[in-house]
Structure formats: C-alpha cells, structure tokens
Amino acid sequence: MTQYLLSVWHTEGDAMPPEDEIQDMYTSVEEFNEELRQSGSWVFAGGLHPPTTATVVDGTGSEVVTTDGPFSESKEQIGGFWVVEAADLDAALDIAARGSRACHGRVEVRPFQDE
Amino acid sequence: MNTPAHGEVEAVYRAAFGTVVASLTARFRDLDLAEEMAQEAFVEAVRRWPTEGVPPNPAGWLTVTARNRALDRLRRESTRQARHEEAMMLTAPEDPRAPVTSVTDERLRLLFTCCHPALAPEAQVALTLRLLGGLTVPEVAAAFLVPERTMAQRLTRAKRKITAANIPYRVPRDAELPGRLRGVLAVLYLVFTEGHLPGSGEAGLREDLCLEAIRLARVLRELMPDEPEVAGLLALMLLTDARRAARVDAGGAVVTLDAQDRSLWDRAMITEGHELVRACLRRNRPGHYQLLAAVNAVHTDAPTAADTDWAQVLALYDQLYAVTPTAVVALNRAVALAEVQGPAAALPVVDRLSLDGYHPFHATRADLLRRLGRGEEAVAAYDRALELATNPAERAFFIRRRATVAGEVR
C-alpha cells in the first residue's frame, strides 16, 4: 500500500461559484469522504481557508522571520487535500477522479515517501 | 549448438531483451535491477556464445543468467530491502537449462507499465524502446535526436516515478483495458511514424525504428490475439513499410503513391498485411487502425495507380471519420474525394479545415490548386508547406513541385 496526497488547486482570481453550487459541492465531498472511510482508503482530509490567511515562518536563519501571505507567488494555490491509502497508482487515480468530480476541481496526485 | 555469426548475438539479444527485463521485473519488482542484469547477461553472452555456441533457448539462457546475477547482487548487498532478501531465500540459483514459462504475460505487463498515462508521452516511448525493445540509451537518444545525457535523465526520472508513485506492474483490468490499450498502440505507432517520416535530422527514413515498431506490434499481437485494433496496427505498419524502397528517390525526395515503382514494394509484407486486414473485416469490430490499414490495403491491392479503387478509399475514410472525427482525417478524406469527384469538389472541403500549422494541409491545397491550373496560389501554398515541413525528403519533393509549377506560371 502507498499513501498519496490528493491536493485540490484553485487559480487566484477565478470567480466563486454560486451559493447553491457550493452547497452541492459540500454535500458531494461529504459523501465522497464517507466512501473513503467505508472503503478504508481514508487517512486524513481537510479544506483550507484562502491563501490570504496564510503566514510564512522562516526558522532557517539565526532569527525567526515571520511574514504575511502564502509561500508561493504562484497564481495556483492549494485549497484542500486528502491523504489516502491505495494499493497502487491506478487505485489512487481512481479515487482522485471521484474526488475531482465531488469537489468540482482538478486534483494532483503525489506519492508519500516510504516511512 | 552452433557458433553464432557476426551480429547474431546482437539480434538474439535484441529479441530477448524485453523478455529478460519483464521476467526479472516480475520477480524483483525493480526496473533498474532488471535492466542492469539484462545488460550483464548480454555481456556474458557476447563473451561465451562465440566459443560455446548459442544455447538452444537463448531467451531462457539470458533470463536465467540475469536472474542468477540479480540474486548474487542482492546476496552481496545485505542492506537491501526485506522483500529482496525474501526473494533470495525463496529460491536457489536455477538450472540454466530449465524452461522459462509464461514470459509472454510478463512482457505485456511491462509494456503497459512503460505506456502508463501517468508518464509523459516522450518518456513512454523512450521506456518502451529501452526496456522492451532493448535499444541502448545512446540508441534511444539518437532515435529522438536528444543528447544522450538528456535521454538518460528522462529514463531515470520515469523509472523513479514508476517506483515512487507505485505505478502497477500489471495488465489493466477489463474496464480500463480499451483506454489503456489505445495508449500502448499510440506509443507503438509514434515509434513507427518517427521512423517512417522523421520530423527532424538528416534522414528521410529511419528503417531501424520502423522495424522495431513492427517487432513490438508483433509481440503485442502474439500477446493479445483477440484485439482487432492490435492486428489493425500491425497491418497498417506492414502495408506502409512494404512501400519503403519506393518511397524516396535517388535524389532524396519523397515519391508520391501515384508515381512509385510498384515492383519495389515488398510483396511478402503486403500479403501478410492483407491477410490481417481480411481477418479484421471478418471480426467486424472496426477501429481507427483497422480502417487506416484497410485504406492501405486498397492502395497496395492496385497493380497500377490508375487501378486504385478510390471510391472504396473514400468510403473507408467516411467510416474512419465516424470513428475519429478529426480535421486530419477530414483532410485525408478530401484527397480521396478529389480522385472520385475531381479537385474542384475537394478544394472547398479542404479550405474549411483549420489546419494552418499542419504542413500536409498546405501540401494538399497546393496539389489541388496545381491541378485546377491556379499556379500562383499553388506556389504560395507550397511556400507555406515548406515553412512548416522538417522532413528532408518531403521538403525536397515540395521544392521540386514548387519549381515545376512556378515554371509553368512564368
């Protein structure tokens, strides 16, 4: 079994979907999460507040430097993620396809290193 | 045992390489190890076969030699993972005379792994040629005109992704199979077209790549005899490659189908291709490659260009367009339409297609305009084709045609 990070990315400046679509999305994501728990693939998942709520901490120097804003200047920002356990990449891609449909967003699949 | 002639070891090795890598990958789940040990077994063969003779089952000999070397290697490296140690304990070195079984399935698994859609298309092609085709890294690099180091990195990165992301080593389940098989066929056809019409470099044709693609398609057909598209792809390659000797003239220019010396066509390949197409027709599950093969069967069936059954070609393109409704298919259909109804009927059809960046579009337009006596427009269209075309044999043909048409205009 391999663990995978399934992350959902939003492009900054994209219009917010209408309220009823957001409600639909919450419902379908909750159903999908329940499927994951039932099938035993679930490890962890969560949605994130917008990138404007992020703070970057740099402890690599002698003094800790704290700055406002997301780490990346990129227009693409992570909005939420799942950590799942799957037999192989094909199984993870299948989960990702269902997740993508549920959350109305594209999903990046990335394997975790072995512990 | 017979003593191998020069080059025979190489040929045997090339044919057996995929089998050896597949068999070792199945056993050790480590592509790098499988590849390295297959290479070492070959070195061993080069050293021993010339004096001891080629063993009766060369693929089996190479597999067992590579497998034993892998076990030796793992035994030495005691720090390796537990699964390797397990593999070591399970089996003692094997008798090199023992038959190797069910290797065909292993090759199929390897092919589907190499052509996994999670890998970049260029990596899929490179892995297939390297691990199944047995081409060396410099050979794969030369085939795609990239520096050796770039190709080595591309292969390493792809193999690392297969391991890290846990890309499965298996033939996809029935539900996924049609989609995944399409990917495999696309990779093999890409290898073939790169040989048939290299997009870059000095060569107008690259025979080695065509032959390699045909060889791999034969392997796939042997492994999946019930898939008509596999047979269709093999037939398409055979019927295209059969015309190789007639395709480029002494001046290095492409010779169009109507002007080819048909006595140069390879009759054995044509016969085999026709048989495959007939078998596909009996199955009656038409698909993209089968229909393209059928078009080529019609062409190769005609003793002279004038005998070509263009109505049949047009009907096949209609079917193909129903399966693959792309502008490129529409363009090729228009070429057949021009033969059946004349260039005046085909030109408006061609003009409606948005293929401005595709040189065959401009070459087709140029030819239709030329036949309609619209020389100046034909010259302009040849100029546009020349701006886009990179294959030297095609360029030579366009330059010559352009000059002829320009001469008539003047």
Six-digit token pair at A37? 């728990």
Q: Which residue is closest to A89 within chain B, CA to CA?
A: B167
Average pLDDT, chain B: 88
Q: Answer whether A2 sits within 8 Å of B118, measured CB to CB.
A: no
**pLDDT digit string (tens) for B227-261?**
999 999 999 999 999 999 999 998 889 999 999 99
Report residue B101's pLDDT band, with 50, 70 and 90 as the boundaries. Answer: very low
Give the DSSP H or E segment for A101.
Answer: helix A89-103
- A114 interface with B at CB cutoff 8 Å: no
| Residue at B287: amino acid letter | G
Rounded distance between C-alpha atoms, residue B152 and residue B131, angstroms: 13
> What's the average model confidence in pLDDT over B65-75?
93
CB contact under 8 A, A89 and B176: no
- Please report, for the domain that includes residue A103, its CATH number: 3.30.70.1060
Q: Best residue in B29, B166, B176 to probe A by mutation, most A CBs within 10 Å?
A: B166
Name the residue in chain A with its Cα closest to that of B168. A88
- Distance CA(B352)–CA(B342), nearest Å, equals 17
Average pLDDT over residues B95-113: 64
- H helices of B103-176, where? 103-114, 121-127, 137-143, 148-164
Of B101, B108, B102, nearest to B216 by C-alpha is B108
Most confident of A7-11, B46-50, B223-227, B309-313: B309-313
Residue B313 vs residues B255, B360, B362: alpha-carbon distances, Å: 20, 18, 21
Q: Is there a contact between B110 and B169 (Cβ–Cβ < 8 Å)? A: yes
> Looking at the DSSP assignment, which residues form a beta bridge with residue A57?
A66
CA pair distance B116, B25, nearest whole angstrom: 16
What's the angle, vertex CA B353, arms to CA B391 and CA B188, rounded to 5?
A: 45
In whole angstroms, how far apart are CA B53 and each of A106, B9, B15, B162? 58, 10, 17, 38
pLDDT, tens only, A24-76? 999 999 999 999 999 999 999 999 998 888 999 999 999 999 988 887 778 88
Partners of A42 in beta bridges: A84
The whole domain housing A54 covers: 2-111
pTM: 0.79
- The two structure tokens encoding residue B146: 């990239």
Closest Cα in chain B, distance from residue A83 (Å):
14
pLDDT tens-digit readout, B37-53: 999 998 999 899 888 88
What b-and-e string marks burial along B62-88, b requiring 16 or more CB atoms within 10 Å of the CB? bbbbbbbbbbebbeeeeebeeebeebb
Residue A97 in contact with partner chain B when CB distance is under 8 A? no
Predicted confidence (pLDDT) per residue in B380-394, tens digit:
999 999 999 988 899
Within B224-325, where are the H helices?
Answer: 228-241, 244-247, 267-283, 288-301, 310-323
Alpha carbons B181 and B216: distance in angstroms, whole number? 14
User: Quick check: A79 and A11 in contact, CB under 8 A?
Assistant: no
Min Cα distance A1 → chain B (Å) is 9
Q: pLDDT tens across B141-159, in order?
A: 877 778 999 999 999 999 9
Contact A2/B at CB under 8 A: yes
pLDDT band at B177, cuts 50/70/90?
confident
User: Cα separation of A15 and B367, whole Å?
Assistant: 49
| DSSP helix/strand/coil, A18 | coil
Using CA atoms, how far apart are residues B278 and A4, in angstroms rounded to an integer? 47
How many structural domains does chain A have?
1
Q: Which CATH number fits domain B325-410: 1.25.40.10, 3.40.50.720, 3.40.50.1820, 3.30.428.10?
A: 1.25.40.10
Let me know: does A36 contact A84? Beta carbons within 8 Å. Answer: yes
Model pLDDT, residue B199: 66
Phi, psi dihedrals of residue B31, rounded to the nearest 5°? -65, -40
Chain B contact for A112 (CB, 8 A cutoff)? no
Q: Residues B197, B325, B313, CA angle at the centre, nearest 5°?
A: 65
A88 and B CB contact within 8 Å: yes
Residue A4 β-bridge partners: A84, A111
Please give the interface size between A and B, counted as residue pairs whose CB atoms are below 8 Å apart: 24
- DSSP of B178-191: HHHHHHHHHHHHHH
- The whole-angstrom distance between residue A22's C-alpha and the CA centroid of its chain comes to 16
Q: Decide: B133 and B212 in contact? Cβ < 8 Å.
A: yes
What is the distance between the alpha carbons of residues A24 and B407, in angstroms, rounded to a whole number?
A: 69
- The encoded tokens of residue B136 equal 């060396």
- Closest of B218, B244, B12, B3 to residue B111, by C-alpha: B218
| Block residue for tokens 């898939």 | B227
B27 CA to chain A: closest CA distance, Å? 18
Do B33 and B82 form a contact (C-beta atoms < 8 A)?
no
Confidence of residue B100 (pLDDT cuts 50, 70, 90): very low
The tokens for B261 are 């010396």
**Strand order from edge to edge, sheet including A76-86:** A42-47, A76-86, A2-11, A107-111
Chain B CB contacts of A93 below 8 Å: 118
